[in-house]
């Protein structure tokens, strides 16, 4: 079964990149259909009320750097979406606790003078490499950048190496033994030198205060989807894409065939291999789709009694890679909402007693009462968290910006700026719409 009349453009995926591309194309008078495998829009953004509190929390992407994420901020301004106050992370005054094995330190970074000097020198060297990377063309890198981050740490004092590995793991959402140095360098080209995690939010970068969105980040996807004329099909996975000089033929999972003059493919890189493409994907695109990026952070929202609502905890070796309080669980509540981060297998989000035991290493009165989370790694339509490259992945990304017949790629995973961030999704969606329109006009 197929449509009688082809669309101008089909968009695969209703995350931010796909929705922005669809809106921009529809606003130019093109007929657009969006097919999304999930029963909702938003992709790896997902906001919902924490059970029993009514407080909106974000299970996926969450933080915004207003001074750097210009495209995303323009979208928030367009739809009247506001950011939470800078100091909304809790009551204030708590010092960060550091756990390294059985050792515990409060406040300052637990390094002696020699270790701190090595730590600072390492970050200065990274900053110089990031500046070098910023001067290259998109997705260009040098051989010395294409190594696992952990390999760079072997000559450092052990404690300094532990802190840096913990920082890289938190920033990239991937083990320091797997993620490539170039992934962290790219973040630095956009946001500056990594800083120690702060008490108000996520891991930080110099000069890039991270903020949260009032009412949750998913409302942007909802507002975009409501703002333009396009046919939105939810719960409709795409099984295959065939193309010729005249257009594309998209086969849905139920066997239905849809036709269009062009396709914007805005699905996560780690899911591409589940779609059957004819002709075959370009070599570098297919290779990255097969190997998959290594971003695999586990993010759990927990309602916790017995801890400050602005608690801040860093751990190495990680059971949790860290935990931060983002305020009371509900107005007037003595319980805190705490975001816990880790890696697959490091802790069980459903085991409240085990999670309590981890937090009690720093806060003896802690008691986890409830949790909310989504397993992005097991989600068939994500198969991972935010983009984190392995060694050798970086140069492959350039192929996603090259012509592939009537198919144009989009997504935060492949954006040449703000890679892995919501801002990158917006930038990529805008660029995909421009490339698609130019192709149709040619």
Q: How far apart are CA 424 and CA 430, in angstroms?
A: 10
Q: How far apart are CA 99 and CA 1, in angstroms?
A: 60
Is residue 354 within 8 A of residue 117, CB to CB? The reply is no
pLDDT of 201 above 50: no
- Token pair listed for 322: 């860290």
How sure is the predictor about 347, in pLDDT bands with cuts at 50, 70 and 90?
Answer: confident
Q: What is the pLDDT of residue 131?
A: 86
- Residue 2 DSSP code: B
- Token pair listed for 369: 């009462």
Structurally, at CATH architecture level, domain 7-44+217-294+381-441 sits in: 3-Layer(bba) Sandwich (3.50)
**Model pTM above 0.75:** yes
Q: How far apart are CA 168 and CA 150, in angstroms?
A: 9
How sure is the predictor about 197, in pLDDT bands with cuts at 50, 70 and 90?
Answer: very low
- Tell me which H or E stretch contains 301: strand 298-305
Q: What is the pLDDT of residue 203?
A: 45
End-to-end CA distance of the chain: 30
Per-residue pLDDT tens over the stretch 241-292: 999 988 999 999 999 999 999 999 999 999 999 999 999 999 999 999 999 9
Coil vs helix vs strand at 157: coil
pLDDT of 317 above 90: no
Q: Is 37 annotated to bind ligand?
A: yes
Helix axes 70-79, 422-441, angle to 10 degrees: 90
pLDDT of 87 above 70: no
Q: Facing residues of 11 across strands?
A: 34, 264
Q: Where are the domains of the chain?
A: 7-44+217-294+381-441, 48-67+83-91+298-373, 113-195
pLDDT of 335 above 60: yes
- Residue 389 DSSP code: P
Q: How far apart are CA 9 and CA 62, in angstroms?
A: 30
How sure is the predictor about 86, in pLDDT bands with cuts at 50, 70 and 90?
Answer: low
- Token pair listed for 211: 């903020």
Q: How far apart are CA 238 and CA 276, in angstroms?
A: 9
Q: How far apart are CA 340 and CA 349, in angstroms?
A: 9
Q: Which CATH number does 48-67+83-91+298-373 carry?
A: 3.90.660.10
Q: What is the pLDDT of residue 104?
A: 87
Per-residue pLDDT tens over the stretch 376-411: 999 999 999 999 999 999 999 999 998 899 999 999
Cα separation values, 229 from 25, 27, 37, 247, Å: 10, 8, 20, 22
φ, ψ dihedrals at 319, nearest 5°: -95, -60
Neighbouring C-beta atoms of residue 140, cutoff 10 Å: 13
Per-residue pLDDT tens over the stretch 211-222: 899 999 999 999
Degrees, nearest 5: CA angle 42-17-70: 105
pLDDT of 238 above 80: yes
Per-residue pLDDT tens over the stretch 120-141: 999 999 988 888 888 777 788 7
Degrees, nearest 5: CA angle 12-180-213: 55
Please give the average per-residue pLDDT across 144-163, as a whole number. 92
Q: How far apart are CA 166 and CA 317, in angstroms?
A: 8
Residue among 251, 226, 260, 191 nearest 419 (CA): 191
| Sign of CA pseudo-dihedral 17, 23, 25, 31 | positive
- Average pLDDT over the chain reads 90
Q: What is the pLDDT of residue 64?
A: 93
Residue 171 burial by Cβ neighbours in a 10 Å radius (0-12, 13-18, 19+): buried
Q: What is the pLDDT of residue 207?
A: 42
Structurally, at CATH architecture level, domain 113-195 sits in: Orthogonal Bundle (1.10)
| Sign of CA pseudo-dihedral 71, 74, 79, 85 | positive
Neighbouring C-beta atoms of residue 195, cutoff 10 Å: 15
Q: What is the pLDDT of residue 204?
A: 47
Instruction: Estimate the share of the chain in helix, then strand, then coil, as percent rounded to the nearest 5.
Output: 30, 25, 45
In order, the DSSP letters of 34-63 are EE-SSSSS-TT--EEEPTTT--EEESS---
- Token pair listed for 353: 């007693």
In order, the DSSP letters of 181-219 are HHHHHHHHHHH-SEE---SSSSSEETT---B-BTT-THH
pLDDT of 227 above 80: yes
φ, ψ dihedrals at 211, nearest 5°: -125, 160
Answer yes or no: same fold for 7-44+217-294+381-441 and 48-67+83-91+298-373: no
- Token pair listed for 358: 């981890």
């Amino acid at each position: 079964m197929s449509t009688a009349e082809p669309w101008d453009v089909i968009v695969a995926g209703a995350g931010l990149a796909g929705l922005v591309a669809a809106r921009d194309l529809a606003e130019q008078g093109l007929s657009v259909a969006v097919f999304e495998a999930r029963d909702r829009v938003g992709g790896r953004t997902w906001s919902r009320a924490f059970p029993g509190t009514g407080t909106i929390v974000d299970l996926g992407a969450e933080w915004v750097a207003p001074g750097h994420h210009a495209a995303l901020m323009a979208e928030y301004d367009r739809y009247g979406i506001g950011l939470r106050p800078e100091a909304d992370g809790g009551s204030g005054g708590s010092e960060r606790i550091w756990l390294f094995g059985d050792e515990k330190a409060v406040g300052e970074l637990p390094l002696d003078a020699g270790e701190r000097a090595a730590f600072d020198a390492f970050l200065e060297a990274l900053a110089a490499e990031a500046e070098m990377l910023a001067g290259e063309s998109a997705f260009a890198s040098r051989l010395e950048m294409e190594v696992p981050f952990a390999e760079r740490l072997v000559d450092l004092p052990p404690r300094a190496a532990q802190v840096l590995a913990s920082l890289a793991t938190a920033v990239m959402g991937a083990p320091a033994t797997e993620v490539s140095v170039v992934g962290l360098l790219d973040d630095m080209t956009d946001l500056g030198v990594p800083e120690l995690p702060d008490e108000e939010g996520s891991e930080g970068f110099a000069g890039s205060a991270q903020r949260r969105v009032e009412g949750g980040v998913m409302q942007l996807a909802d507002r975009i989807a409501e703002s333009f004329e396009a046919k939105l099909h939810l719960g409709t996975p795409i099984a295959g894409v065939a193309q010729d000089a005249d257009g594309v033929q998209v086969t849905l999972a139920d066997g239905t065939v849809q036709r269009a003059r062009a396709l914007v493919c805005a699905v996560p890189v780690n899911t591409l291999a589940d779609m059957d493409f004819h002709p075959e994907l370009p070599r570098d695109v297919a290779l990255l789709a097969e190997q998959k990026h290594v971003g695999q952070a586990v993010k759990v929202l927990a309602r916790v009694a017995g801890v400050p609502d602005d608690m801040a905890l860093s751990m190495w070796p990680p059971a949790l890679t860290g935990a931060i309080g983002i305020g009371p669980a509900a107005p007037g509540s003595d319980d805190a909402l705490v975001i816990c981060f880790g890696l697959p297998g490091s802790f069980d989000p459903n085991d409240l007693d085990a999670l309590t035991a981890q937090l009690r290493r720093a806060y003896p009165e802690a008691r986890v009462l409830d949790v909310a989370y989504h397993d992005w790694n097991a989600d068939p339509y994500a198969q991972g968290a935010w983009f984190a490259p392995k060694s050798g992945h970086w140069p492959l990304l350039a192929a996603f910006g090259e012509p592939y017949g009537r198919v144009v790629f989009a997504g935060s995973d492949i954006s040449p700026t703000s890679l892995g961030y919501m801002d990158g999704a917006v930038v990529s969606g805008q660029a995909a719409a421009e490339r698609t329109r130019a192709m149709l006009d040619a």
